Amino acid sequence: MSLERQNEDTLLQNKLDKIKQTYLVLSGKGGVGKSTVAVNLALSLSLKGLRTGILDVDIHGPSVPKLLGITQLKVGVHEEEIIPIEVYGKIKVVSMGLLLSGNEQAVIWRGPLKANVIRQFIQNVAWGELDALVVDCPPGTGDEPLSIAQILGKKANAIIVTTPQLVATIDVEKCITFCRQLELPIAGIIENMSGFICPHCGKEVDIFSSGGGQNLARAYGVPFLGSIPLDPDIVKSGDAETPYVYFYSKSKTAQRFDEIVELIIKSESLKEYNKEDQGVIPSASATNEKTVDKDYNNLKEKGDGFMRFAVPTYQGKLCAHFGHCEAFAIIDTDGEGRILKEVFETPPPHEPGILPRWLSEKGVNCVIAGGMGSRAQQLFAQQGVKVITGAQGEYPKEIVEQYLKGTLQTGANTCDH
């Protein structure tokens, strides 16, 4: 190996050593929302406090700069290194679209030249220390995903984006085969444009029979990360070049991105991150998960009257929507109405019937919610779990204490559709 090549390899390795994980966002076909998902995942990771970068390796049609509203900017160069553009807090961005002098300039690189430029996107960019680098690949399984997967080596994980219509097609299968052949671990599948959020009532309507992504994931034995609804505000934000999760951070769809990111943070792929930086993730409650079940029997044995409550929350306070909350406060109390402990747990991605099963498996005896659909109430009743709806108040501990004292204010079930 020539000395020059050796130096280049060392340079690349030094860069990779500072990046904890990378996620190649892939799709079988164009138009499934891959770039939209990649940008919003990267932003959600960054909003959670992870040091995040996004690399757009779509050399012929980069769309990340447009989605982030930075098409007018160009990356800088310092001491032969590209300096990524930092936007929306701290997210670092590199794209061919930020290097070219005009968007209209045709890029005609092929094969080896393309691989070389992709290598430089890692090797010659001042990424610094990153927890996660999201890579937006062009659709399909061509040169770019292959090159970047090879360059990233062990640090590479794939996230496959599909839509309900394309889920059972050869294109998606090809994507999975591509990952398998490269021994590229699949962090999970995301079903985009799954269901429709009605702009008038905000209700989710299942127009293309969603759920195929989950079946696909099951069939191939890979994780299902969640689904993103078809949301007119995503189109609006794309057209306005304003990244969706940043500007619609309180919306149901943004919450879906958040839930997916929670799963990614908890996943095998970020195991290292979880081990080292547990305290950094603001709302991640994964670290508490095991202690609940470990302690359950001990606490239960402490005497009669032990109760385990679950309260749906958003940012630590009671959330009106049971099925779409951010986390559940799981609160244990003794027979004298004292709180023994409180932990927050992130629920699995929303799917009919999943929460009653999940909560009863955790040994919850009583759920106190603002609103809950009648189906969920029925399922809880079948599992022998008591349900209080219409609860008013803010902090879960106070709500449980009031319930036990008989002073909890309740009103109408706020979400009985």
Residues of this chain that bind ligand ADP (CB under 6 A): 27, 30-36, 63, 139, 192-193, 228, 230-231, 234-235, 238
Q: Which of 336-367 are b and which e, b meaning 16 or more Cβ less than 10 Å from the residue's Cβ?
A: eeebeebbbbbbebbbeeebbebbbebbbbbb
Shorter beta-carbon distance to ligand ADP: residue 200 or 405 = 200
Q: Is the Cβ of residue 30 or residue 185 nearer to ligand ADP in the bound state?
A: 30
Residue 59 near residue 109, CB atoms below 8 Å: yes
Type of residue at 282 = P
Pick 206 or 361: Cβ nearer ligand ADP: 206
User: How near is the Cβ of 206 to ligand ADP at its closest, in Å?
Assistant: 14
**Residue 396 neighbours by CB under 8 Å, 6+ apart:** 309, 311, 313, 316, 317, 318, 329, 331, 342, 368
Q: Which helix (H) or strand (E) holds 338?
A: none
**105: number of Cβ within 10 Å:** 11
Cβ-based nearer residue to ligand ADP, 34 or 321:
34
Closest separation between CB of residue 189 and ligand ADP, Å? 14
CB 90 to ligand ADP: min, Å: 23
Q: Which residue is nearest to ligand ADP, using beta carbons?
A: 33
Closer Cβ to ligand ADP, 32 or 118, answer by number: 32
Q: How far is the CB of 164 from ligand ADP (least distance, A)?
A: 11
Name the nearest CA neighbour of 57 among 41, 90, 34, 76.
34
Rounded Cα distance, 237 and 336, in Å: 52
User: Which is nearer to ligand ADP, 62 or 396 (by Cβ)?
Assistant: 62
Rounded to a whole number of angstroms, the minimum distance from the CB of residue 415 to ligand ADP is 23
Q: What is the nearest approach in angstroms of ligand ADP to the Cβ of residue 21?
A: 21
